[in-house]
Chain A
């Protein structure tokens, strides 16, 4: 017989009465852990996407959301490729780089991958030259894409990954994202059958941790031709001059392309920040709710438990238990409850985050062991605080009165 035995036995004897209070706390901890876990990884994923994007302005179809763009949701409408030329021909200043894209789901070697058509830089230059005007003739220097004299030109891989542009891409060439390459089992120099055509894999792109990893990139016009889509695109990624962006670049593009939606990365970041603030407020609200509901139901349970056990407490006192031992019996019980609810809530919350995270937020979620400390800390503090007054009442019971009742 030890304190532990005594407390354990009692818990298991009357576990049904415990269920409500215990579940309230478990549920609260579960929700907090899963919210924290998912927001952490979705924040991280968005930051990584933004970092990898390189572009700072996106031109999308009116009905498309930024989320559609990230997840390459193909239900959204398209915009004509002609918009690119309109931009090129316009007098809008501060457009450093344009990268039109058309993404489609395709089946290759029985795998579902996203095929993304991109336009290499040389075609712009040709078009721009042909049109007698264009963005590449303007002075550069404020965007991302600057050729540093004396440096070897970067490989197609790096420029596509960092700057969203590639100098040249023949109509029968493809670039394969790292994950797509693994799942398809292809490597540089291989041939790949896509939509009935043979393509040369000219490069496998380095891992970026973004959706690009599971994509195949081909020439935009090839993609349009093979899918019979015509001259349309899903998005134009723009590298704009920061000073121009703050100076009304978005409004100018809006005026030029009234049927498209123009968003800046700042907007996306702000949306994300707002989203995160909302989530952290939500988890704070949950924290308050579990403190109130969970704490109240544990306190309520403990009072009932003390009342029900008053004869037992009186007996223990008659047998020589001091009030501190009685206090410890109830506080130890509260500690066990808190530990169980904290650990259980962490486990359930993590499982929930791991299964729901990819579906709700579209990001892979990994367990965060550091959350277990918080989960246990909150839960134990709560059960101890809620049990203190009932435990003290037990410790102060008058043994004679408790034993006299029949």
Chain B
């Protein structure tokens, strides 16, 4: 469903060309769960954002359901993001002056839903992430873990088939990290395609496969083999984290 063909991305930084993506080709089928790991500056965010139609490529194409993203006009691309892609960020990016419920309503407002439908859906989604009693709280009145759950609810608002998460647990303590990863696993099981950038090797193991990026190149693309019992045990622990 999501394809990247011979993608390159170059930044021009003070007369110096920085290669953030170097000839990356990916095929992400529907329902896949990919984790992307790699050192800082290796191009992980760039890869994720170009996949999400937020950053045009210098070379190559991104195809979402056969549609080449960067051949669309910016407004058409925005509409496509609204319908098909949910983003989760390391810093949550909640709108500070809006309540939890209103933050969740933003994508619904952008999709032109009427106000009562927006409210109903926001209430349901916040209930799903366990924040029924925090609807009218502003982000500053929530813990970081709760803020990320609001962001997760917002990401799901328009029921996107693709979810792109850039270090979603980077600002969270281990326990809330587990909850977030569990949630991503859960929505992957609903059939959504999930691509997650992470620094946490154990979180990466939750995905169906892991891509390693080094200097803008995809270093390995292997299915998890669960070779050692250690890794299998870790994965089991994580899964228990979700239910608990």
Contacts and interface: CB of A to CB of B under 8 A. Distances in A.
Interface in B78-129: 78-79, 81-83, 87, 89, 91, 93, 95-98, 102, 105-111, 115, 118
A317 B54 contact: yes
Contacts of B54: 317-318, 399-400, 403
Name which of A1, A10, A321, A323 has the most chain B CB atoms within 10 A of its CB.
Answer: A1
Given A311-B93, A325-B110, A406-B91, A318 B98 contact: no
A322 B79 contact: yes
B38 interface: no
Nearest to A400: B55
Contacts of A10: 97
Interface in B35-76: 45, 49, 52, 54-55, 74-75
B74 A1 contact: no
Given A1-B109, A318-B52, A9 B97 contact: yes
Contact of B106 (A12, A316, A324, A399): A316
B107 to A, nearest CB: 5
A403 B109 contact: no
Interface string A290-323: 0000000000000000000001101111111111
Which 8 A/B pairs are nearest by Cβ-Cβ distance?
A: A320-B82, A13-B97, A1-B105, A400-B55, A1-B109, A315-B93, A322-B75, A322-B78
A277 B158 CA distance: 62
B192 interface: no
A2 interface: yes
B49 A321 contact: no
A316 to B, nearest CB: 7
B149 interface: no
Given A315-B95, A322-B75, A1 B108 contact: yes
B96 A318 contact: no
A14 to B, nearest CB: 8
Contacts of B110: 316, 319-321, 325
Contact of B81 (A311, A318, A398): A318
A403 B93 CA distance: 8
B81 A2 contact: no
Name which of A13, A317, A320, A400 has the most chain B CB atoms within 10 A of its CB.
Answer: A320
A319 B91 contact: no
A320 B102 contact: no
Contacts of B111: 320
B154 interface: yes
A16 interface: no
B89 A403 contact: yes
B82 A323 contact: no
A236 B242 CA distance: 102
Interface of B: 45, 49, 52, 54-55, 74-75, 78-79, 81-83, 87, 89, 91, 93, 95-98, 102, 105-111, 115, 118, 154, 158
Contacts of A1: 98, 102, 105-106, 108-109, 115, 118
A324 B75 CA distance: 8
A1 B117 CA distance: 10
27 contacts: A1-B98, A1-B106, A5-B102, A6-B109, A9-B102, A10-B97, A312-B95, A314-B93, A315-B89, A315-B95, A316-B106, A318-B52, A318-B87, A319-B87, A319-B106, A320-B78, A320-B83, A320-B110, A321-B82, A321-B110, A322-B74, A322-B75, A322-B79, A323-B74, A323-B78, A400-B49, A400-B54
Given A2-B115, A6-B98, A319 B107 contact: yes
Contacts of B154: 319
A353 B55 CA distance: 57
Nearest to A326: B78
A6 B99 CA distance: 11
A13 B93 contact: no
Nearest to B154: A319
A111 interface: no
Nearest to A319: B107
Contacts of A324: 75
Nearest to B101: A1
Name which of A10, A318, A398 has the most chain B CB atoms within 10 A of its CB.
Answer: A318
Given A1-B109, A13-B97, A406-B91, A320 B115 contact: no
Given A1-B108, A325-B110, A400-B55, A317 B97 contact: no
Name which of A315, A319, A323 has the most chain B CB atoms within 10 A of its CB.
Answer: A319
Nearest to B102: A1
B78 A317 contact: yes
Contacts of A398: 55
